[in-house]
Chain A
């Protein structure tokens, strides 16, 4: 684990391997260390690190915009030292996501995987997907789970419009488009589930940490 300074009051925590950023972010969020705790693929961003969160190591008050002191960074490091990966693996909530595999890139992906269309569907649906982080758009989940050997590149040129509910893959990530937008992921199918509703609590159907079981729709 390595901590990098990121502007005046943010820190970027780099993890040694994939798969633990979401778990660390959930653990850090419960400690109210910062205004925003944003997991990435292999990092956790602490933005707006709070003064009192680690015993007021630098005497800063919440909302302070002055630079984090070395003492404050050391305070965050001490908090991080108390994290044991996998120990408190709170199994996230399980969501069953209905997916119809009718995407325009399904044949292309099946060919890349050296499978029939039916095998590709079964393979993708059988993966235990976990939301590692959200990004790109509100409620857009980056689902980890596909093994490295099934990684596929993004499209050479993105589509100008991908419909809401489209399920696509890029690298080893699976994503679901919450709203219509441009997009460069290879589309395997679509879901009728509503990924993003601001009035819902939480507004994202699939926040970080959620386990996703795909239910194949005929």
Chain B
């Protein structure tokens, strides 16, 4: 055992690349909500992308290193301390055996990531170390006193890490499979109005409140598969963006789908934050229309 949890406030979970291939049995994919931040943390400590790390929610955690490790904290910015002394966020840090690392409360955003060289090595469940919070498949949420194994780490080589690209502007959406269950121009409606993040948002979904989306088809939708980023609309007309722990099937129509590359921003939205959408028309290359390479 390598890390001992000495403080866990709010939800703290283990996340890796996620659990694939079990959706037909009702098992959510899980995985880090802010995947680019998680990938960056792993890269900083010399891990492969998708190595298991820790995801915090607003309040952070502290761990004591039982052997020397290299760690990095990314995602929602927060104070990072080792034995009470401030250390840089977003950089690899060497932690001596016996030292205590604190990942503080997020100063903005919601979810910070703590990667440790070698990766968190809890026992996988169905091929993944990710905790799914919908049905609690995978390792349990972290609590004080838990000890976590860590895999054999390598000394990370210096990497040229690109600055974090902060998302800007409205979230991009394209029409969903049931857009025709709603009033005409529903995408115009969705992209015109401002929505506010509801406090009930979690790893399952980003719940929004605002101008309700009116349905024209009133019958019940037979349950059908859901994808990551699906914007599902329950009878109250308030949209819910499906995040990593979303149920695999649902009985409410999906009006739109948020682009995968914008989903990490949903991970960092706080209750009360404003959300806008914009319509995204992907340019699909036709056959034989390969772009010419520039010399």
A residues engaging B (CB < 8 A)? 4-8, 10, 12, 18, 25, 29, 35-45, 47-48, 65, 67-71, 133-140, 142, 171, 179, 198, 202-204, 207-208
B137 touches A138 (CB 8 A): yes
A37 touches B227 (CB 8 A): no
Chain A residues within an 8 Å CB radius of B135:
137-138, 179
Chain A residues within an 8 Å CB radius of B227:
6-7, 10, 45, 47
**Which residues of chain B (244-275) have a CB below 8 Å from chain A?**
247-250, 254, 257, 259-261
B26 touches A137 (CB 8 A): yes
Q: B interface, by DSSP: helix, strand, loop or mixed?
A: loop
Chain B, Cβ-Cβ closest to A7:
B257
A70 to B288, CA, bound (A): 12
B280 to chain A, nearest CB (A): 10
Indicate if B162 sits at the interface (CB-CB under 8 A).
no
B25 touches A204 (CB 8 A): yes
What are 20 A-B residue pairs whose CB atoms fall within 8 Å in the complex?
A: A6-B176, A7-B227, A7-B229, A8-B257, A12-B177, A37-B24, A38-B24, A38-B249, A40-B225, A41-B224, A43-B224, A44-B225, A67-B284, A69-B287, A134-B248, A137-B135, A198-B126, A203-B27, A207-B24, A208-B24
Q: Which of A4, A38, A68 has the most CB of B within 10 A?
A: A38
- Assuming the contacts A5-B177, A140-B26, A203-B126, asked whether A40 and B286 have C-beta atoms less than 8 A apart, the reply is no
B residues engaging A (CB < 8 A)? 20-27, 125-126, 134-135, 137, 174, 176-177, 220, 222-230, 247-250, 254, 257, 259-261, 282, 284-287
Q: Which of A18, A71, A135 has the most CB of B within 10 A?
A: A135
B30 to chain A, nearest CB (A): 11
Residue of B27, B223, B226 near A138 (CB, 8 A) is B27
A47 touches B222 (CB 8 A): no
A198 touches B125 (CB 8 A): yes
- Assuming the contacts A8-B282, A38-B249, A69-B287, asked whether A25 and B260 have C-beta atoms less than 8 A apart, the reply is no
- Assuming the contacts A10-B227, A12-B225, A25-B24, asked whether A4 and B177 have C-beta atoms less than 8 A apart, the reply is yes
A43 to B223, CA, bound (A): 8
A18 to B150, CA, bound (A): 49
Nearest 3 interchain pairs by C-beta: A45-B225, A135-B249, A41-B222
Chain B, Cβ-Cβ closest to A35:
B20
Known: A41-B222, A69-B285, A198-B137. 4 other contacts (CB 8 A): A36-B20, A36-B23, A70-B284, A139-B26
Residue of A12, A36, A65, A135 near B21 (CB, 8 A) is A36
